[in-house]
Structure 1
Amino acid sequence: MPKTALAPLTLALLLAGCAVTPQRPPAEAAPPASFRGSDDWQRVAPEVAVPEDWWTMFKDPVLDGLQAELVVGNQNLAAALAQVSSARAVLRASQAAIFPTLSVGAGSTRSATAQSNNGQSTVSTSNSLTANAAWEIDLWGRLAEGVKAAGASYQASQADLAALRLSAQATLTQSYFSLRTAEAQQALLERTAAAYQRALELTEARYASGVAAQTDVLQARTQLRSVQSQLSDMRTQRAQLEHALATQLGKLPGQFRLPSSKDTAHLPELPPVPDLVPSTLLAQRPDIAAARARQTAAYAQIGIADAAFFPSVSLSGSAGYRGSSWSNLVSAPNLLWSIGAAVAAPLLDGGQRRLASDQARASAEAATANYRQVVLTAFQEVEDNLVQFAESGASLALQRDAFEAAERNLDLVLNQYRAGTVSFLNVSAAQTSALTAEGNLLSSRNRQLVAANLLLKNLGGRLPPSSAQQ
């Protein structure tokens, strides 16, 4: 290689000692040893292993079937999967930029040249067969940092998909519990309406016999119509929850039907939930992993911006044959070749490189703040659900006792009314108390199931395996 061609490369190698120092995100703060809400969480079973499909712990085959349909039909998941494919393509493109490029070509040119003496033109043919190679030497780590940023973005997109899937699965489970609770509330209102109808008939009979006032009949009819109105509202709520499930599954609401089960016993029993450890939360929540990967990508962008202050170094070469005939084109007399190195660096850019570097650092600081906020939000969610889980358990026991007392009281008051010792106002109050107590009991069961669902989600979700090298 001629010495003049080696000069730019030699200069670049001498400057290599000034390579950009890669920027690294700040170290993570150590998580607390336990959650504060764990102190009040009595239902702990550390020996229980939570599967990735945590909803199976509720032992509901219908819910299991809906979850299987979710991962196939949910359109938000389909869009996130496309984003993963796009990020994978960007990663592979950045990896390919590190390697030399090679291109080949062939061409044939026919040209005419006018002669000055007689005005005749000479026609000639030129055929060529060439190969060209080029390679940018990554002395300052710009391309390597680009691969790192693209790899982190790819991991973030994978974690986003996992987080979206986890959220969709938890939302589906919660919607399913709400729907089953609405069915149980509907069954309660239907039973109550039937009981109120019998009470109305009783008061009408007593009024006809002259042993009850007309106000008793009016009060009984008012209660019946009120419950019938509530029943209509509950049917609407159940239908809307069914429509929400259909949308989550990627189906038209009008073409989706979930068989009704109005038996209160159909509400799943609470599964044993193991203890939550903050370090496990940090390791398994995909939204935290996505925020951390974006932080890594943002710091890699600092290296890319800083590398722009240094000259770019590239090698190039070409070889081929050129002649007038294809038959003897590939021969020594027709051989052409060239090889060289080049160094290029902008001298004046109006501060664009400095601004790009400052912007990259600001973006990295924003990514760090976003990461910390995601961690704080995750810890808040767990603490909230630990409290709700514990308090809903205590509330459930109290509501069950209140319901049993209200039922006994209603039986006593009805017997007293039939005996004529109390007015229908007492019956009305007892019926309202019984209805409210059983409705509160169902709501408490639903809240406890929802809290357990969200806690199990944090233990059941799994991060995708790292694919940054793909």
Structure 2
Amino acid sequence: MTPPTALPPMPTIVVDDPMLAPIPPANRQLGSWGDALSLVRARSTDLATAYAEVRRAEAQTRTALAAVLPTINATATIPHQFITNETATFSGSSSGNTGAAAPVRTITTPQSNYLTANVQLQQSLVNLQAWQAIGTGKVNEKVQKLSAEDTNRTITLAVSTAIVGVVAAERVAELNRVGLRSSLERHELTVRKRGLGVATGLDVVRADQDVAAARATLVTGDEALRRAREALGLAVGIPEAVGVPPGVKLDDVMGGAEQSCPALKELAERPDIAAAQKRVEVAERNVHNVELSFLPTLSLGSTFSTTTQDTGAAPQATWNVQGILTVPIWDGGVRYGSLRSNRALRDEAGFALEAARRTATVEIQQARRNVGVAEASLEVARQTRQLAYQVDQLTQTAYRAGQGTSLELVIAASSLRQAEIELALREFDVVRARLEALFALARCSGTS
């Protein structure tokens, strides 16, 4: 049957509803990808914690270095004796005064109120364990720096994904308002047709149901947009909603991500895998460090002492140099226990490395495969949307010609709204999948 070539012209339908007003923009907007990176690197607590761990590792290396550098200590004591005994002694005859009484000398025993000071210098000469600890500290610094790079990678991915989420939520909120406007227009058309005696009360109720469903979708979509903005704010380190300008292009986000986080050629270069490899090295060095504790150490000491106490014929100042050889013989088994413990930690580090490699390998494969899946889903969503659009147009045409029912009109409109939203979400899923595939094998540089 050939449809009529001409239909009566549709009257212009103008609808107005408070819910058609767009949701207000966020108080704070991200100007560009560079602004997002600057904010997250300046305000991220995770990244700040990672850099603090780097500084802590550097401090531990400096502490280990102190074991092979000279140490200088000075002490001073001023004793006061409460119980003393005074003794008078004669110093002998005075020259040139034959027969005269010898002078009397009074000695206080023990002597009270005198000063004793000494300065002690000690330098390690042979201490292999200390040098091993310095090397271990430097390797641990590399571990923390790699961990900071991996933290930078993950938070950059989180920021880029949050930006895509806000853009997607903005688009869905816009589509929800378009859908509500269409529902209101169909409702107004149905009311007019009822007034002309063409439609029934049931048609009006179904139109009301369609409008109510569109309103519910709009309310949910607006809340999703607010949450997406708040998630972006938290991602960049701001405890409030952060929006994205309407003119932002996701291609710019993708290009900025590729520039700040270049792709790697091998899995071993990824920061978290490289850090796990270095942790194995640290664990191996810790085992060797305990083994070196069984060896003797040699150090050189020198002490200078002086006192104001009456020492008689002995000098009041002394200075000595001594060599100190320390041979560990038995400590109750502490070193043997530490050796077993560190060997177990070495094995655990190796297992953690292997687990990280396996997880990262599957993660990269899934991320790359997800790009193809997202693109295929996008193509299906396009076809579904096109079919839903055709059904909606044909249903509206039939309804205007009096050949369709209001139920078919409502179902077609609802399907078209869902198809529009599904298409928008699938478009952003493609961008999100490409970002995840990029960051799955990338290294992000940044400064503290």
Q: Please state which band the TM-score falls in when normalised by the shorter chain.
A: 0.7 to 0.9
Q: What residue is the counterpart of 2:358 in the other structure?
A: 376
Q: Does 1:136 align with 2:118?
A: no
One-letter amino acid matched to 2:181 = A
One-letter amino acid matched to 2:45 = Q
Q: Deviations over 1:105-163 (max 9, x none)?
A: 56666768523569973656655564322133445x31122112222222222222221
Q: Does 1:302 align with 2:291?
A: no
Equivalence map 1:186-201=2 (5 Å): 186-201=173-188
Moved more, 113-122 or 241-250: 113-122
TM score, norm. by length of structure 2: 0.78
One-letter amino acid matched to 2:85 = A
Confirm or deny: 8 A CA contact 2:384 2:419 kept in the other structure. Answer: yes
One-letter amino acid matched to 2:433 = A
Out of 185, 196, 208, the position equivalent to 1:221 is 208
Q: CA deviation at 1:171?
A: 0.4
Q: What residue is the counterpart of 1:386 in the other structure?
A: 368
Task: Label 1:456 to 1:279 Cα distance change in 2 as closer, same or farther (>3 A).
Answer: closer
Task: Label 1:242 to 1:462 Cα distance change in 2 as closer, same or farther (>3 A).
Answer: closer
Distance 2:414 2:446 in 1: 52
Distance 2:446 2:296 in 1: 39
Q: CA deviation at 1:452?
A: 1.4
Task: Label 1:71 to 1:440 Cα distance change in 2 as closer, same or farther (>3 A).
Answer: same
Distance 1:281 1:376 in 2: 10
Distance 2:176 2:419 in 1: 12
Equivalence map 1:153-192=2 (5 Å): 153-192=140-179
Q: What residue is the counterpart of 1:71 in the other structure?
A: 41
Moved more, 369-378 or 128-137: 128-137
Moved more, 414-423 or 206-215: 206-215
Q: Does 1:411 align with 2:393?
A: yes
Task: Label 1:282 to 1:290 Cα distance change in 2 as closer, same or farther (>3 A).
Answer: same
Q: Does 1:422 align with 2:415?
A: no
Task: Label 1:201 to 1:266 Cα distance change in 2 as closer, same or farther (>3 A).
Answer: farther
Instruction: Tell me: higher relative CO, structure 1 or 2? Use CA pairs within 8 A at least 6 residues apart.
Output: 1
Q: Deviations over 1:227-283 (max 9, x none)?
A: 211111111111112222222333232xx442563x8x9554795889x98743321
Distance 2:393 2:249 in 1: 26
Q: Does 1:91 align with 2:61?
A: yes
Confirm or deny: 8 A CA contact 2:140 2:282 kept in the other structure. Answer: yes
Task: Label 1:278 to 1:380 Cα distance change in 2 as closer, same or farther (>3 A).
Answer: farther
Distance 1:188 1:111 in 2: 94
Confirm or deny: 8 A CA contact 2:33 2:253 kept in the other structure. Answer: no
Q: What residue is the counterpart of 2:9 in the other structure?
A: none
SS of residue matched to 1:158: helix
Q: CA deviation at 1:405?
A: 3.0
Out of 348, 352, 365, the position equivalent to 2:334 is 352
One-letter amino acid matched to 2:321 = I
Moved more, 289-298 or 108-117: 108-117
Confirm or deny: 8 A CA contact 1:111 1:125 kept in the other structure. Answer: yes
Confirm or deny: 8 A CA contact 1:138 1:144 kept in the other structure. Answer: no
Q: CA deviation at 1:167?
A: 0.9
Out of 362, 367, 371, the position equivalent to 2:344 is 362
Out of 69, 85, 99, the position equivalent to 1:114 is 85
SS of residue matched to 1:421: coil
Q: CA deviation at 1:352?
A: 2.4
Would you say how many aligned residue pairs link Structure 1 and Structure 2? 393
One-letter amino acid matched to 1:295 = V
Distance 1:117 1:335 in 2: 26
Q: CA deviation at 1:334?
A: 5.0
Q: Deviations over 1:160-187 (max 9, x none)?
A: 2221122111101111111110110010
Q: CA deviation at 1:83?
A: 1.9
Distance 2:62 2:236 in 1: 33
Distance 2:153 2:252 in 1: 22
SS of residue matched to 1:97: helix
Distance 1:398 1:464 in 2: 40
Q: Deviations over 1:420-457 (max 9, x none)?
A: 11112222222122122221211212211112112222
TM score, norm. by length of structure 1: 0.75
Where structure 2 has 5 or more consecutive residues not aligned to the other structure, the ranges are 1-29, 90-105
Q: What residue is the counterpart of 2:93 in the other structure?
A: none
Distance 1:338 1:120 in 2: 29
Q: Deviations over 1:277-314 (max 9, x none)?
A: 8743321x221122122211111110121122233333
Q: What residue is the counterpart of 1:101 in the other structure?
A: 71
One-letter amino acid matched to 1:70 = V
Where structure 1 has 5 or more consecutive residues not aligned to the other structure, the ranges are 1-59, 326-331, 466-470
Out of 262, 280, 289, the position equivalent to 2:266 is 280
Q: CA deviation at 1:195?
A: 0.1
Structure 1 vs Structure 2 CA RMSD = 3.1
Equivalence map 1:441-452=2 (5 Å): 441-452=423-434
Q: Which has the larger radius of gyration?
A: 2
Task: Label 1:270 to 1:425 Cα distance change in 2 as closer, same or farther (>3 A).
Answer: farther
Distance 1:444 1:269 in 2: 19
Residue identity over aligned pairs, in percent, reads: 20
One-letter amino acid matched to 1:132 = Q
Equivalence map 1:244-259=2 (5 Å): 244-253=231-240, 256-258=241-243
Distance 1:365 1:428 in 2: 65
Distance 1:401 1:95 in 2: 68
Confirm or deny: 8 A CA contact 1:181 1:267 kept in the other structure. Answer: no
Q: Does 1:318 align with 2:288?
A: no
SS of residue matched to 1:115: strand
Distance 1:269 1:415 in 2: 42
Confirm or deny: 8 A CA contact 2:118 2:304 kept in the other structure. Answer: yes
SS of residue matched to 2:68: coil
Moved more, 385-394 or 423-432: 423-432
